[in-house]
Every structure is written in structure tokens, then in C-alpha cells.
Amino acid sequence: MTDPHPAPPLRAPRDGTRGVPDATVARLPVYLRVLTGLGERGVTTVSSEELALAAGVGSATLRKDLSHLGSYGVRGVGYDVGHLVQHVGRCLGLAEEWRVVIVGIGSLGHALANYGGFAPLGTRVVALVDSDPSVVGEQVAGLEVQPAERIVRLVSELGVRIAVLAVPAASAQAACDAVVAAGITSVLSFAPVELQVPAGVELRRVDLSTELGILAFRERRRAAADGEEPVVVLPETLVAAGVGGRGARGVHAEVAR
């Protein structure tokens, strides 16, 4: 595979990703996943165009990102996949293991605890906690669910650095405060609510309903541009009250159940 635009070989930074733009750091796990997949398929070199396509970014962005790390692209050859896997991994601190606690072992907490895809990114779930006594003591993914009050001890004894919050929105701030008070400095929350953390604590949120809402909005706009009739989904109560059906404005209504 040839690379028409290889990034110039630069020095590798000695201090991980310090000084590397946040946007670049956020893309590194994606590059690593693609590169790891290529390596598993026996691919030894990859062009910046191919890597960019597989990672879903522009090739100029990819070359710039890798140049921040010190890339090893060779003109006419491309990037050495194995070398780049190690290099990106080192920059992400993956030689070390970052220990994770999941707070809230309900539907989502179970799924996350059982998910095996975190390890390649250097993280390992080592503890599960829940505030519900009926959940405490349950075995999930080889770990026993611990009472939420034990968080301080778990964090210090197991060296946990990252907390994943899989609790309802109403409990999320309290759960967040508890993990921060226990010494956690990185929090990933799935609760659909804004959270406050003190300076020095990294907070990331995964809000699936907002993401889906954005896609639905775009679908609606695309359908409107294609001249499709909008489908308005009405609650059953409104339909029972006589609202809905194909109305004067040509709106086609369906019932939400």
C-alpha cells in the first residue's frame, strides 16, 4: 500500500500526549482501533488515505494528528502498522492499566460490566458498586457488587482512577460527588443530566437520547427535503380525544404505544 502524502518523520514526544491538542487525543483511540484491526488481519503497512478512510476522518487531519505524535510515515510505503499501534498506544498511556469502577449495576451497568471491549484501550473494570442492597452481593462478570458506601476503600485499595456512572439522572450528582470525594479524577457519566465537578476532575458524558434525537432531527430534515409527508407520532390519549389522522395540512399521524 502506498502513501501519496506521508507525514514527515518527527521525533516521538517523550511525555505521552502533553501538548497534543485535545481533538487529536480524542481521535487516537479510533486510530488505534483501526490499526489494531489491520494488524490482526496481517496488514503491515497502511497509507494515510486508507487509515483516514477507515477512521472516518480526512487524510489531512490524520496526517496532522500523527505528526503531533511523531509519525513514521515513509514516502511511497505509508505507515508501519505494528510500529504505529505501539506508538499510539504508548502516547495514550496504554502500557499502564487504568482501573475502573462502575457505579450503578442496573441494566446498563450489567451490560458495561460484561463488555469485553475496554481492555485494548488500557482500562479494566475492577469494581462494581450499587446503593441497592438487593443488588449488592450479586456476581456480575466475575466481580461481586459492593455497597456504594465502600467506594472510598475500593478506590484506594484497588487504585481505581476512573468511575463510570450508570445511575438514574436523579442520583447522578450524588454518585458523582461520592466518587470524586473518594479520589476519582475521571468520570464517565451515562446519566442524561448535567453534572458539576471540581476543577481538576475530568468529566465526559455519553447522552444516547440526545445523540438519537440529533439523528432523528436530521432524518426529518432529509425526509422534508425529499418531499416525504412528515409522520407525527401522537400519544394514544390525544388520538382517543379525536386529534390526529390525516389532517388538513396533510400530516400523517401514527399512535405511540
Ligand X SMILES: NC(=O)c1ccc[n+]([C@@H]2O[C@H](COP(=O)([O-])OP(=O)(O)OC[C@H]3O[C@@H](n4cnc5c(N)ncnc54)[C@H](O)[C@@H]3O)[C@@H](O)[C@H]2O)c1
Residues that bind ligand X (CB under 6 A): 103-109, 129-132, 135, 148, 166-169, 171, 174-175, 190-192, 208
Residue 106 assigned as binding residue: yes
Q: Which is nearer to ligand X, 60 or 212 (CB)?
A: 212
Cell of 103: 457505579
Residue 107 assigned as binding residue: yes
How far apart CA 131 and CA 127 sit, in angstroms, is 14
CA–CA distances in Å: residue 245 to residues 49, 219, 256: 51, 22, 13
Cell of 242: 379525536
Give the residue nearest to ligand X (CB): 106
**Amino acid identity at 48:** S
**Minimum distance from residue 74 beta carbon to ligand X (Å):** 43
Residue 116 assigned as binding residue: no
Residue 208 assigned as binding residue: no
**Minimum distance from residue 112 beta carbon to ligand X (Å):** 9
Q: How many CA atoms lie within 13 A of 159 on its CB side?
A: 6
**Minimum distance from residue 106 beta carbon to ligand X (Å):** 2
For the chain, the distance separating the N- and C-terminal CA atoms, rounded to the nearest angstrom, is: 53
**Minimum distance from residue 96 beta carbon to ligand X (Å):** 27
Backbone angles phi, psi at 95, to 5 degrees: -70, -25
Q: Which is nearer to ligand X, 88 or 128 (CB)?
A: 128
Binding residues for NAD(+): 104-109
